[in-house]
Amino acid sequence: MTHLFLNDDLVTQSKCAVRKLKSKCPLLARHMYGLGDQHQVPNIPCDRADQHIFLFHHLTYFHKLNAKAATKLIRALILNKNPSEPLFHPNDIIVVSNQQIRRTKKITDNQQRSDQFNYSNQLENFSSKVIRN
């Protein structure tokens, strides 16, 4: 892992430090950091464990970890936590499910339709004011 910070440095807790860390993927085998089969994390063992990558992006897209779980794992790496010590409990939900993705897409689609409707109304109101003047 690339050592960017001292362990007691306050920057290790910042979102920026976590999101911009380049390192090799630590998910070499199941049951590291308390990750079990019940968590359903895909792509373990990781075939990109020999490459320096932007770890947050990799964990959230390739391994489908939610942002909270990816942040927790990266902070443990920065602080050199032992991989055999569990970070996650067996009942923790750490993977973004397809249902959550669909719900987010539905909200985004609804927001987009609402934005288009509002834009159309604003345009119509503007046009009617311009034509009257």
Both 14 and 54 in a single domain?
Answer: yes
Both 106 and 54 in a single domain?
Answer: no
Query: Given this model, what pLDDT does residue 30 score?
Result: 87
Both 109 and 71 in a single domain?
Answer: no
Domain encompassing residue 58: 10-78
Domain count, the chain: 2
Torsions phi, psi for 8 (to 5 deg): -95, 5
Both 111 and 61 in a single domain?
Answer: no
Query: Given this model, what pLDDT does residue 70 score?
Result: 95
Q: Hey, which residues does 54 pair with through a beta bridge?
A: 22
pLDDT over threshold 70, residue 17 = yes
Residues 85-95 pLDDT 10s: 999 999 999 99
Nearest to 25 by CA among 68, 101, 83: 83
Both 60 and 27 in a single domain?
Answer: yes
Query: Given this model, what pLDDT does residue 130 score?
Result: 53
Domain's final residue, options 33, 50, 78: 78
Nearest to 62 by CA among 106, 19, 96: 96
User: Is the CA virtual torsion 25, 11, 87, 61 positive or negative?
Assistant: negative
pLDDT over threshold 50, residue 22 = yes
State the Cα–Cα distance between residues 106 and 90, nearest whole angstrom: 30
Residues 48-104 pLDDT 10s: 888 999 999 999 999 999 999 999 999 999 889 999 999 999 999 999 975 454 444
Both 54 and 108 in a single domain?
Answer: no
State the Cα–Cα distance between residues 102 and 11, nearest whole angstrom: 35
- List C-alpha distances in Å: 18 to 38, 79, 89: 26, 11, 21
Structure-derived torsion over alpha carbons of residues 110, 111, 117, 122, reported in degrees to the nearest 10: 170
88, part of any domain: no
Residues 40-51 pLDDT 10s: 999 999 988 889
Domain's final residue, options 31, 48, 78: 78
90, part of any domain: no
